[in-house]
């Protein structure tokens, strides 16, 4: 198996992009990655997208986007595993390059979510839950994560303030990210007094509806220096796992088994452990999600994540920096693109290009991209040569 490197990244500012179509957003972003890599062709492309058919009425986007990017007839495939679709696109491209099937692969994610009303967006996102046993009975994702939060609070003494501290920290980081949808700081009081969505979660505990794309170019490590003179960022490990789609079918609703399993696989492949990571980009679709992910990835002991955030350990200058990009909470969450945007942040950090939010001396990083209430997870580990 060949070693694989990320040699190009691209992302435009996320938000409510009314003036751009799905294809416009995608092409602009993919061209940025191609330019950053310095390649003159690609051999293959993967596109992560959760619900383009519902959000913009367009399926068959693998061919559509290859056509508008001008890369036809190269093979192009759309992949989907709910909000972890971007992470899966990277994993599929990684396997293709590592196997020797192709050399230069474009991996990307795209979602345009604001072309529909809030009710239809809620329906589209709800398709990642169990339709018969959850959605039919009126459960939404804020409701599911609220159940996880209540369970975590009852078991471990996690406080409402500790949940708010996750949002405060991520918005602080996002305020230094010019590509973030909501690049401003919030206070604990603002979070606690924002509109209640599903007790105990408030609107400032929730990631937003977002339009956006992200893209990366990967190739074999031994080819990486033939292009731009960037520091080489290698993909050391890749892990993927699933769990029951319905929260009620799990033994412990505040434990993310798929994240634990995917992380275990990635750590073993990379020959690394959690303490070897200099930073983490994780799936904070809700503030409680970040806390549960921290525990499943072995960053802290079970039940200790809220305390770690409150003490500042997950800040950019802490000992376990989490979501220096601002995370889904501040940066935004165009569901199919999130997993690739996490890669972009890790690559920037390992190259030393993250500006005010730079983690000091960063050499290793991990991305964790999750679908639904944790029914699917993809984890990748990166290291700078």
Name residues whose C-beta falls within 8 Å of residue 137's C-beta, 6 or more positions apart in sequence.
none
Q: How far is CA 93 from CA 25, 87, 120, in A?
A: 21, 10, 31
Does the pTM of the predicted model rise above 0.75?
Answer: yes
> What gap in Å lies between CA 170 and CA 180, rounded to an integer?
11
Q: How far is CA 294 from the centre of its chain?
A: 14
Mean pLDDT of 90-94: 98
Mean pLDDT of 323-327: 98
Pinpoint the residues of the chain covered by CATH 3.40.47.10. 4-117+209-224, 137-206+236-384
Q: Tens of pLDDT along 119-148?
A: 999 999 999 999 999 999 999 999 999 999
- Looking at the domain that runs over 137-206+236-384, which CATH code has it been given? 3.40.47.10
Which of the residues 171, 283, 333, 380 is marked catalytic? 333
Which of the residues 41, 83, 171, 219 is marked catalytic? 83
Is residue 321 within 8 Å of 315, Cβ to Cβ? yes
Q: Tens of pLDDT along 340-382?
A: 999 999 999 999 999 999 999 999 999 999 999 999 999 999 9
What pLDDT is stored for residue 200 in this prediction?
98
DSSP for 26-82 reads: HHHHHHHHHHHHT-S--SEEEEE-S-HHHHTS---HHHHHHHHHT-TTS-EEEE-BT
Mean pLDDT of 257-263: 98
Q: Is the pLDDT of residue 228 over 90?
A: no
CATH number of 4-117+209-224, picked from 3.30.450.20, 3.30.300.30, 3.40.47.10, 2.60.120.380: 3.40.47.10
Average pLDDT over the chain reads 97
Taking residue 321's Cβ as centre, other Cβ atoms within 10 Å add up to 24
- Residue 70: exposure state from Cβ atoms within 10 A (0-12, 13-18, ≥19): exposed
- How does residue 205 score in pLDDT terms, banded at 50, 70 and 90? very high
Q: Is the pLDDT of residue 276 over 90?
A: yes
Q: Is the pLDDT of residue 225 over 90?
A: no
219 belongs to the catalytic site: no
What pLDDT is stored for residue 256 in this prediction?
98
> What gap in Å lies between CA 94 and CA 238, rounded to an integer?
8
333 belongs to the catalytic site: yes
């Amino acid at each position: 198996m060949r070693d694989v490197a990320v040699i190009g990244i691209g992302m435009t500012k996320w938000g409510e992009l009314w003036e751009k179509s799905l294809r416009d957003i995608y092409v602009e972003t993919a061209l940025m990655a191609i330019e950053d890599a310095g390649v003159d062709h690609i051999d293959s492309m993967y596109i992560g997208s959760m619900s383009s058919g519902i959000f913009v009425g367009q399926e068959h986007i693998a061919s559509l986007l290859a056509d508008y990017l001008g890369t036809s007839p190269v093979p192009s495939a759309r992949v989907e595993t709910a909000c972890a679709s971007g992470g899966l696109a990277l994993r599929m491209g990684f396997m293709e390059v590592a196997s020797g099937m192709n050399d230069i692969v474009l991996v990307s994610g795209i979602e345009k979510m604001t072309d529909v009303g809030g009710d239809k967006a809620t329906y589209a996102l709800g398709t990642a839950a169990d339709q018969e046993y959850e959605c039919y009975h009126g459960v939404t994702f804020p409701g599911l994560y609220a159940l996880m939060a209540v369970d975590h609070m009852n078991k471990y003494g996690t406080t409402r303030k500790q949940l708010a501290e996750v949002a405060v920290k991520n918005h602080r980081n996002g305020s230094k990210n010019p590509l973030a949808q909501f690049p401003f700081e919030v206070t604990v009081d603002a979070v606690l007094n924002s509109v209640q969505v599903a007790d105990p979660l408030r609107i400032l505990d929730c990631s937003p509806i977002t339009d956006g794309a992200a893209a990366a170019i990967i190739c074999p490590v031994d080819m990486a220096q033939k292009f731009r003179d960037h520091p080489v960022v290698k993909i050391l490990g890749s892990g993927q796992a699933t769990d029951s789609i319905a929260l009620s079918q799990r033994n412990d609703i505040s434990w993310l088994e798929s994240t634990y399993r995917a992380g275990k696989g990635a750590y073993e492949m990379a020959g690394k452990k959690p303490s070897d990571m200099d930073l983490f980009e994780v799936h904070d679709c809700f503030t409680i999600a970040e806390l549960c992910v921290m525990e499943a990835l072995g960053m802290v002991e079970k039940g200790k994540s809220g305390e770690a955030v409150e003490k500042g350990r997950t800040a950019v200058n802490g000992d376990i920096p989490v979501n220096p990009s601002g995370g889904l909470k501040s940066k935004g969450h165009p569901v199919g693109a999130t997993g690739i945007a996490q890669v972009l942040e890790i690559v920037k950090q390992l190259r030393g290009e993250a500006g005010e939010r730079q983690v000091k001396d960063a050499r290793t990083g991990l991305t964790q991209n999750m679908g639904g209430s944790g029914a699917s997870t993809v984890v990748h580990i990166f290291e700078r040569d």
